[in-house]
Structure 1
Amino acid sequence: MTTVLCELISLNEFTIKDDRSLFKIFTGVQGHKYNGKEKEWIFPLKEYHIVLEQVKREKPNLLYREIPKLLLDTFLSLKPLPHVDINKTNIPKTLLQKLMPFQIEGVRYSIQKQGKIAICDQMGLGKSVQALAVALHYKREWPLLIISPSSLLSTWEQMIKDWVSMPVEVGVIYESKNASFDSEQIYVISYDLAVKLSDKVAKKKFEVIIVDECHYLKNANTKRTKTLLPIIQKAERRILLSGTPALSRPMELFTQLQIIQPALFKNFFDYGARYCAAFKSHFGWNFKGASNVRELQVILENLFMIRRLKDQVLSQLPPKRRQQRKDYPKSQTLESLLNSKNGLESEINDNSLLTSWKETAAAKLPSMINYVEGLVESGHKLLLFAHHRDIMDEFEKRIIEKKINYIRIDGSTATNSRFAKCDEFQKKEDIKVALLSITAASVGLTLTSATTVVFAELYWNPGVLVQAEDRAHRIGQKDSVNVHYLLAKGTLDDIFWPLILKKLDILESVGLSKNEFALTTQVEIDEKGQQHSNKRKASFDKSIKDYFVKKPLETIELSSDSPKCNEIELITDDSDFEIDQETLRILDEMDKQVVNQ
């Protein structure tokens, strides 16, 4: 039997697939258009009932797949969004002044949608601060509840302190024992604890709720979703946040759509039959496909979310965004390093410096590996820089175990092989990691297919770090580049980072560089594994020698990636001109002065 498919394709248009026998009816509809490429007729949505009535009268025996009634009624009754003067909202002016133009538009649109919105901007565009601004507009309806992954609880706490200028009482729920929702204005809780404390949460009757990483609720069959969905739906303002609301299939969007538009679909089966290419097999119904995706996109764009990609707002973004992630690694290596620093030495020598440098990398290796694995699992294509060969070997071992496709370039890689590897990384999407030596791969290479750069180790020459960053951030890069520096408290990183800032201050004073490192976002991981973020300029500690051990540690065998082995590569490779050789010479002189103090 012939099927007539009606599909919504815009806010005010729908289509019917071409049927030559209906030509006379279709051409008689006011405002009709024909799409030859898709072989379909396009009509104004307001003419929907008239068109269907005439077609059914002419062809009563056809199978009609109509636009769902609830969906049709919703779009036919949509009214223009109300005007919102952002300066007349309840959002503090101090916060508005910090927002980028596209973020202000996101806040405005969310308010126009009455605080029922999913902010799904691409990662790194500031979804959280937009959500806070929207929530502040509805402050009279507080208390505010923020549900997030457990690892982000302290991040939210710090973000509130950084962005909300007015005094607010914040309660972060870390454990279920003695947890209460009594007097605070803002409560931050993890998904797991929200489930455990669901009776208390429901009793509080929160009217404003932010749901961070809302794709945690994508599975309708989990206890988490079954418990939290009705609680969130009852809130008057429901703000969802996710850069990836659906990781792979339309079926993952249903529960999130139910939060924002609970009356749009009667049940999951109706939704799945329309948008998940549902079919029945020997094992039951399968909803893992996709169908009517144009209509689903119209729903998402007009009734559910606001989503901007980096390339759409790139002119409003810093071209390169740095993040310093400082951890408290737990390892015997770090304990040994810290114990040896109880006594102070009067002079710095090469052995103590190089030994501490390598021990720093070894101490933070487990946490670094976990962090990098998380980035790769999230779909990031990244450049991973390290200095010591042993550290690179450990990363490579884990990468192979995880069956991640990668390339490696270090001091032993032949020049012709380097460019072949780079070309492979650039062209093959399935190669997710480029494992690179800081000194051997910091110049002369183009790796713009990656937008994430991770430094597992620091190098005392900031010019080398900047050049390494710019393997991704260079001509041909159309996206914003996110740079992650992985540091460890109580290690040589405490010296290297402020030293880098100091050097760049000097270069800036003579017009050779701009100290963008000073504005690096800092994320600290405390002993409990909680994040604390801020954005401030680090101070430089002039008493460098206080960080070094009293007695030289056991001499280590230097790998071929040591500064002495790779220095000749660095200064003879003049294929890169972002930082010229004179600048590198000045930086090298600074290095020698520091080591020889």
Structure 2
Amino acid sequence: MYSPAEIEKKRLLAQQKKAQLTQNRMKNTQPMKQSMTPTKGRPLSNAGFNKSGNKYSAYNSSSPGVKRKWESKDTSGNNPKHIKHLTTVPPDSFFGKTERLKAVCKMITSARFEVEVPYHTQLVEFFKTIPTKSYDQKTKHWNFHINDYSSLINGMKSQFTGHIDVSGIPNFILQTFKSNLEKKSDLKEVDLSKIDNVLISKLMPFQRDGILFGIEKRGRCMIADEMGLGKTIQALGIAHYFRENWPLLIVTPTSVRNQWSDAICEFLPSIPYQHIFRYSSGKDRLDKEKITIVSYDLLSRNIQAFEQKAFGFVIFDESHTLKSHKTERTKAAQRIASTARHVLLLTGTPALSRPIEIFSQICLVKPNWLKIHDYGVRYCEAKKGQFGWDYQGVCNTSELQLLLKASFLIRRLKSEVLTQLPEKQRQVIMLDPELIKEGTKEMKKMAESLQANTLKGFEKHSELLRYYSESSKQRLTAVGNYVRDLIDKKEKFIIFAHHQCVLDKISEVLDKNGIRYVRIDGKTLPDARKQSVDEFQVSENCLAAVLSITAANSGITLTAASLVVFAELYWNPAELTQAEARVHRIGQRNYVVIQYLIAKGTVDDIIWPLLQTKANFLQKAGLDQNFSLSQAELRHQPNQEPFTSEEKKNTLEAFGFSQSFSSQDDEFLTPMESFTAQKEGNASTSAESAKKTVECDNISVTEDFAKLLEDDAEDFENIDLDNIT
């Protein structure tokens, strides 16, 4: 029992608390209307927020006669449940958050990384505290040594929490560069006496370096030297060094199996010929041979038989044919590589069009390198589409180039290692428009049907191929006339085409003029192919080689000629540069001329600029040499006289592209350069136009159609492109 004095004391305390609570409510409620409207240029006042720091919104303040479903009946303030349900709401929820800065880190050299971030005064002051800081005036970005990466990232996250979102470098990528810095190379001390002396004696210095690189990587790497630099001899040198882990499997395109067996006999004479087995059909049995040579197609069809024999060393020649992880040949390659101790990839064009094309090859050498989504996000500008992720884009290419070289790739260009190799000059020959007029109306109808975007799937691809095929038919007369002009010069030349009708037309002209020539296309058997190459190289009476772009662009050497002519374009720059390299390679002693025959009003109007667009992407990633016609001479067909400056301007404008012409130095932008500049300009306004167009003569071709021409071989696996007439 309380005494009367204690009861009175408690009553007075209760009244005092009640009065104080009422006063606090008045303070929180009355100024709210004023605080809801901010004054110009100043933030809202703090009215409506109590002294304790709790930020109650206007909807949490007490209003007479208003009941909320979460309130108890007792609103006197004595009910603790009432206080418990009051929710703190930050003012940013009503008035918007300040935009956070985004900082992106990426490697710029093998030892330094940069931070791309908008200017921020306090952040700059923080950057200046990092010991290895450096500011690039050109890029306007700060960069640092990778040893300071952790301290910089931790400092940014701790000091600028809530103000900056940091996109760092994935740990795996960072560790790859760090380990390379810490590693001390002892390649000069490697004993190459284990390799056949004949092979060693024939090595050029850069080829020796390639073998040492392969040994350092324990036989798991990619040699991506430019075509014509001798990747075969380097591969055999690396394989012979690790011969204790044989049997050796060489997987190659069908057309070059003979070249591999010849190379083994030439460079590794210590290997008995009976130890070399060329697998030629599913009926063949794999026995105890030391070396087996098989085509990609035969491997995929007989993969179970090959899996039963444990190959310790596997060489994948022309590995860019494995660019799609969806094809059967790539799946077979992955199965056979998964059990091999050493895996060596050879290609002059690691990616034909996009960075994603090298990923499946990477997985053969480094199975646990990166997950495809991580790779796609960082280097392929991954986008979430209706049917999944799209990895067909290109981004962060400089870092990708550095990462590939730091991990497993070595690539040298002719311009870097063959200072004595003669130069090559590209020329663009504008075919006589009078000889290609017929048939343009039909081609316009095809373009219009594709532009309507009503065709889907295989039907769309078929229409595209028909348009490509019709263009070839319209140029037959012009190409035939051009070949007659070449014959008059009585010099050796090779001429590439894609369609059978063009190849047949060239052969017809040569036959009528009594010219001795060789022909290699998709129907040529491997043995006949080798005989044709030998005849062209040795015989002075054999003046011409008629070649398919896709069937004869690799695995052969034709240095007896110094003139290369492309009667048609192909929509992949890598295929064209590989074809050029049949002549411009080790062994060539003469100045090389490469001529591209262009027909206005045909599919060339679209393919030509797209070739440079693709090549630009790959060049940035260090995956292809420059395929640019910016320095090419522009000539007429009839007499091959160079264009005057005014003729260049008028002809190129008539070709369907706006040109930038300078009267001061008579320089102009080629259609490809103009197209690239136009694409870069359009990138900033892509949201304004869903369907940009490229004007080609009187044909308005939608970008949707232009993208169709970016399709590659695997998109037409069920179509024999070489037999399209």
TM-score tier by shorter-chain length is 0.5 to 0.7
1:87 Cα deviation from its structure 2 partner = 5.3
| Corresponding position of 1:42 | 143
| Cα pair 1:84 1:112 within 8 Å, conserved | no
Task: State the alpha-carbon separation in 2 of the partners of residues 384 and 119 from structure 1.
Answer: 18
Task: State the alpha-carbon separation in 2 of the partners of residues 53 and 356 from structure 1.
Answer: 75
| Cα pair 1:84 1:111 within 8 Å, conserved | no
1:24 Cα deviation from its structure 2 partner = 2.4
| Corresponding position of 1:174 | 280
1:323 Cα deviation from its structure 2 partner = 11
Residues 185-217 of structure 1 show CA distances to partners (whole Å, capped at 9, x for unaligned) of 111111111112212222222111111011111
1:7 Cα deviation from its structure 2 partner = 0.8
Distance 1:291 1:365, change over 3 A: closer
Amino acid at match of 2:149: Y
Task: State the alpha-carbon separation in 2 of the partners of residues 268 and 357 from structure 1.
Answer: 55
| Cα pair 2:176 2:407 within 8 Å, conserved | no
Residue 243 of structure 1 is aligned with which of 348, 351, 355? Answer: 348
Q: Secondary structure at the match of 1:77?
A: helix
| Corresponding position of 2:464 | none
Task: State the alpha-carbon separation in 1 of the partners of residues 223 and 311 from structure 2.
Answer: 20
Residue 276 of structure 1 is aligned with which of 377, 380, 393? Answer: 380
Residues 274-296 of structure 1 show CA distances to partners (whole Å, capped at 9, x for unaligned) of 11011123454221111121211
Report the aligned-residue RMSD.
3.9
1:114 Cα deviation from its structure 2 partner = 1.4
Residues 77-103 of structure 1 show CA distances to partners (whole Å, capped at 9, x for unaligned) of 332233344554411222111111111
| Corresponding position of 1:58 | 159
| Corresponding position of 1:24 | 125
| Cα pair 2:297 2:329 within 8 Å, conserved | yes
1:226 Cα deviation from its structure 2 partner = 2.2
Residue 371 of structure 1 is aligned with which of 548, 558, 568? Answer: 548
Structure 2, unmatched stretches of 5+, are 1-99, 425-490, 495-508, 525-544, 554-568, 584-595, 609-632, 656-669, 671-725
1:10 Cα deviation from its structure 2 partner = 2.1
Task: State the alpha-carbon separation in 2 of the partners of residues 225 and 281 from structure 1.
Answer: 25
Q: Does 1:10 align with 2:114?
A: no
| Cα pair 1:87 1:93 within 8 Å, conserved | no
1:401 Cα deviation from its structure 2 partner = 8.6
Task: State the alpha-carbon separation in 1 of the partners of residues 176 and 310 from structure 2.
Answer: 28
Distance 1:214 1:128, change over 3 A: same
Amino acid at match of 2:178: L
Q: Secondary structure at the match of 2:418?
A: helix
| Cα pair 1:276 1:289 within 8 Å, conserved | yes
Identical counterparts, % of pairs: 31
Distance 1:145 1:421, change over 3 A: farther
Task: State the alpha-carbon separation in 1 of the partners of residues 262 and 217 from structure 2.
Answer: 28
1:369 Cα deviation from its structure 2 partner = 4.3
1:32 Cα deviation from its structure 2 partner = 1.4
| Corresponding position of 1:222 | 327
Amino acid at match of 1:371: S
Q: Secondary structure at the match of 1:52?
A: helix
Residues 172-193 of structure 1 show CA distances to partners (whole Å, capped at 9, x for unaligned) of 111111x222211111111111
Residue 135 of structure 1 is aligned with which of 239, 258, 265? Answer: 239
Residue 285 of structure 1 is aligned with which of 389, 393, 404? Answer: 389
| Cα pair 2:634 2:642 within 8 Å, conserved | no
Amino acid at match of 2:276: V
Residues 295-337 of structure 1 show CA distances to partners (whole Å, capped at 9, x for unaligned) of 11111111121111111012254779x9999xxxxxxxxxxxx
Distance 1:159 1:282, change over 3 A: same
Amino acid at match of 1:153: R
1:263 Cα deviation from its structure 2 partner = 2.2
| Corresponding position of 1:252 | 357
| Corresponding position of 1:77 | 179
Q: How does 1:453-532 map to 2 (within 5 A)?
A: none
Task: State the alpha-carbon separation in 2 of the partners of residues 382 and 153 from structure 1.
Answer: 21
| Corresponding position of 1:300 | 404
1:355 Cα deviation from its structure 2 partner = 11
| Cα pair 2:510 2:517 within 8 Å, conserved | no
Residues 489-524 of structure 1 show CA distances to partners (whole Å, capped at 9, x for unaligned) of xxxxxxxxxxxxxxxxxxxxxxxxxxxxxxxxxxxx
| Cα pair 1:100 1:316 within 8 Å, conserved | no
Structure 1, unmatched stretches of 5+, are 326-353, 386-394, 432-448, 450-597
| Cα pair 1:71 1:264 within 8 Å, conserved | no
Distance 1:222 1:263, change over 3 A: same
Residue 204 of structure 2 is aligned with which of 81, 96, 100? Answer: 100
Q: Secondary structure at the match of 1:63?
A: strand
Q: Higher mean Cα deviation, 371-380 or 236-245?
A: 371-380
Q: Higher mean Cα deviation, 298-307 or 13-22?
A: 13-22
Q: Does 1:147 align with 2:251?
A: yes
Task: State the alpha-carbon separation in 2 of the partners of residues 237 and 171 from structure 1.
Answer: 20
Task: State the alpha-carbon separation in 2 of the partners of residues 360 and 188 from structure 1.
Answer: 36
Q: Secondary structure at the match of 2:225?
A: coil
Q: How does 1:336-355 map to 2 (within 5 A)?
A: none
Q: How does 1:108-123 map to 2 (within 5 A)?
A: 108-123=212-227
Q: How does 1:585-596 map to 2 (within 5 A)?
A: none
Q: Secondary structure at the match of 1:420?
A: coil
Residue 230 of structure 2 is aligned with which of 97, 103, 126? Answer: 126
Amino acid at match of 1:174: S
Q: Which of structures 1 and 2 has the bigger CA Rg?
A: 2
| Corresponding position of 1:211 | 316
Amino acid at match of 1:157: S
Residues 10-40 of structure 1 show CA distances to partners (whole Å, capped at 9, x for unaligned) of 2221111244231222111121111121122
| Corresponding position of 1:529 | none
| Corresponding position of 2:643 | 420
| Cα pair 1:81 1:113 within 8 Å, conserved | no
| Corresponding position of 1:506 | none
1:269 Cα deviation from its structure 2 partner = 0.9
Task: State the alpha-carbon separation in 2 of the partners of residues 113 and 145 from structure 1.
Answer: 19
1:244 Cα deviation from its structure 2 partner = 0.4
Relative to the length of structure 2, the TM-score reads 0.48
1:421 Cα deviation from its structure 2 partner = 9.3
- Count of residue correspondences: 387
Q: Secondary structure at the match of 1:269?
A: helix
Higher relative contact order at CA 8 Å, sep ≥6: structure 1 or structure 2? Answer: 1
